[in-house]
Structure 1
Amino acid sequence: MFHRSEQGEICCKIWKGSVWKVRIRVLIVGGLKNGDIKACCERYVKWLERYVKVEIRYLKAENRNLPVERILCKEAERLIKYLRDDDFIISLDRKGRMMDSESFSELLSKIMNEGKNLVFIVGGVHGLGGEILKRSNFVLSLSKMTFTHEIATFLILEQIYRAFKIIRGERYHY
């Protein structure tokens, strides 16, 4: 899975120069309304550009006056339009599997070594519907606690950045 470059860096097979050949998309139901959180997320996306192309896509949240099941269904319909058959989909859900940062970096490395693009899905107010969770290759929990989609977006971007630092053997993760 990992190999060391001549410079001693921990790399993956698909590392091409300074940027990975795969892409990461983060699909977020609802926008990032908090300016401070949005600025932090944009900073991590900018830092990640050294390693990989990252695209953030905000999808409209459904009207809160509808029944929860209807909201989840409509949001799932929107999300599915952005998924490709060859994507590796990681959905964030409190009932998912928790991982430490090292295990998460190994998972990302393995997926990218297979040449698959990564898609992270952050649900809206009510989370993600069963259809999206079934379509996911992996369901990840950031914590046993529940977070807003804005905080979850910030946390997953930070963990993706940390994963690349771990993979490259660069200082950041202690």
Structure 2
Amino acid sequence: MQEIFKRRSIRKYQSKPVEKEKIDELLRAAMAAPSAGNEQPWHYIVIDDRNILNNIANTHPHAAMLKEAPVGILVCGDLTKEKYEGFWVQDLSAATQNMLLQAVSLGLGTVWIGVYPNETRVNELIKMFNLPANIIPFSIVAVGYPDEYKDEVDRFDASRIHYNKW
């Protein structure tokens, strides 16, 4: 539970680079996510090129933090891996969340930058990365050493829980 409560959206980063071993740990965590029929429909593009990160930040209306983040990870869905139509979205959501939680344990800060289902964002990233027709950009995770601190949050709300009926 500690990583869950400590996980916060971090939008300010130190200029310190993130070690490849830590990026690999994030990707291992992502690929450990459950997926419908074990289809594992994911691909990842690790972005550490400052020009590309800045370009994404300039075209995506909610990605300004990529101008500071040393790494971005583009999470993509592979429709050729799809066993159960549409469930790739849930699979990639679980994979993205796994990365966010693992980052906490590694002393890293992250923020989930939404891409799919916004067609404009999807199409811009398809063009930017020259993605094949079967690959759909889903999210971007900004990654770096945090340059801001946010208190832990417990968002438990008993009024949102229902048993056996509404």
TM-score by length of 2: 0.28
TM-score by length of 1: 0.27
